[in-house]
Amino acid sequence: MTGVPRPSVSWLKDGQPLAPNDRVFTSVEPDNTVSIMIAQPGPIDAGKYTAIAVNPSGQDTTTTQLYVNTPLETTPKEPMHEALGVAPSFLRAPLVLPPPHEIHGTTIEPTGVFYASEGLPVKLEVQVHGIPEPNVSWFCNERPVRPDFKHKILSLPESVHCLTLEAPLANADSGTYRCVASNSVGVKELIFPVKIQPKVQVVPVPPKFIRKPAPSITTTVSQPILLEATFKGTPTPVISWHKDGKLVPPTETPSNRIQILTDTNKTTLSIAEVTPEDVGTWQCLASSTAGTATFRTKINLEVPKPVSVESQKVLFTPKKRTSVTGPSDSPYPEIRQAPKSVEIVEGNTARFSTMVVGNPQPIVNWYINGIRVQPTLPLEGRLEEARESIYFDGLLHHLELRQCRQEESGVVTVEALRADVPEEVSRLEPNAIATASANLKILPAPGKIPQLRPVQKRFEEVPSMEEPVPAGPTMKPPTFTTVLHTVTATAGQSAV
- Is-contact 362 444, C-beta < 8 A? no
- Assign domain 205-301 one CATH number from 2.60.40.10, 3.30.70.1280, 2.102.10.10, 3.40.50.410: 2.60.40.10
At residue 461 the predicted structure's pLDDT band, cuts being 50, 70 and 90, is very low
Range of weakest confidence among 80-84, 240-244, 289-293, 433-437: 80-84
What is the average pLDDT value for the chain, to the nearest integer? 81
Q: Tell me what the mean pLDDT of segment 107-124 comes to.
A: 93
330 to 55, 60, 68, 418, 428: CA distances (angstroms): 59, 68, 89, 10, 18
Higher-pLDDT residue of 468 and 361 is 361
Give the C-alpha separation, 240 to 293, whole Å.
Answer: 11
**Side-chain-facing half-sphere of 144: CA atoms under 13 Å:** 4
CATH number for the region 334-443 comes to 2.60.40.10
- Is-contact 89 189, C-beta < 8 A? no
- pLDDT, tens digit, 9 for 90 and up, residues 179-238: 999 998 999 999 999 999 998 888 899 999 999 999 999 999 989 999 999 999 999 999
What's residue 474's pLDDT? 55
What's residue 293's pLDDT? 95
Tell me the DSSP string of 217-257: EEE-TT--EEEEEEEEEESPPEEEEEETTEE--TT--GGGS
pLDDT at residue 5 greater than cutoff 80: yes
Give the C-alpha separation, 263 to 282, whole Å.
Answer: 19
- pLDDT, tens digit, 9 for 90 and up, residues 313-360: 433 333 444 444 556 778 889 998 899 999 989 889 999 999 999 888
Domains of the chain by residue range: 8-66, 86-197, 205-301, 334-443
At residue 384 the predicted structure's pLDDT band, cuts being 50, 70 and 90, is low
Q: What is this structure's pTM?
A: 0.34
At residue 78 the predicted structure's pLDDT band, cuts being 50, 70 and 90, is very low
> Cβ of 126: how many Cβ atoms within 10 Å?
21
At residue 302 the predicted structure's pLDDT band, cuts being 50, 70 and 90, is confident
CATH number for the region 86-197 comes to 2.60.40.10
CATH number for the region 8-66 comes to 2.60.40.10
What's residue 480's pLDDT? 62
Amino acid letter for position 458: R
Can 8-66 and 205-301 be said to share one CATH topology?
yes
- Is-contact 442 406, C-beta < 8 A? yes
Which sign, positive or negative, has the C-alpha torsion 93, 97, 101, 106?
Answer: negative
Give the C-alpha separation, 216 to 361, whole Å.
Answer: 25
